[in-house]
Amino acid sequence: MSDLKFCQGTKCHQYKTKDRIKGTKGSKTYQTRRRSNFYYGGDNFCSMNCYNDWFNKYGDRAIDHFGRTTKAKHLTEDNAWEKTYDWDNRTDDRVYIYVNGITKEQRPITEEQYEDNNYTLNTS
């Protein structure tokens, strides 16, 4: 049971659904949902409602904390590389490639490079 976690929604316990009623007879309350997995907000929220409740309360402060975008970002050939994969017609194997969204240039990459979130060809 230790791998269960709570929904981070600020009002999760206020939504009156049967599955939120917990506790022993005579002292049952609506409680924050607790699950091993959630499908919203990077596995932190039980529903879009809870995700939105959190953002409405903390979103502005979170954006200010991590850095608010104050000018337009530009997609150029220096930062338009995206990982994708295709199928090798002869072997039926997956082939991993980097595709530049501006120039359409393709470069083969390994599966390890595809899975590595730190590996990038983007320089800006």
Containing 61, the helix (H) or strand (E) segment is helix 48-66
Which of 20, 40, 41, 50 lies at the binding interface for Zn ion (CB under 5 A)? 50
Least distance (Å) from Zn ion to the CB of residue 1? 18
Residue 14, Cβ density class (10 Å: 0-12 exposed, 13-18 middle, ≥19 buried) = exposed
Token readout for 47 is 């529903």
One-letter amino acid at 79 equals N
Which of 20, 46, 51, 81 lies at the binding interface for Zn ion (CB under 5 A)? 46
109 contributes a contact to Zn ion by CB under 5 A: no
**Within 14-43, which residues bind Zn ion (CB under 5 A)?**
33
Least distance (Å) from Zn ion to the CB of residue 8? 8
12 contributes a contact to Zn ion by CB under 5 A: yes
From the list 90, 84, 78, 75, the residue with the least C-alpha distance to 123 is 78
The one-character DSSP state at 45 is B
Would you say 58 or 119 has its CB closer to Zn ion?
A: 58
Q: Which spans of this chain sit near Zn ion (rule: CB under 5 A)?
A: 7, 9, 12, 33, 46, 50
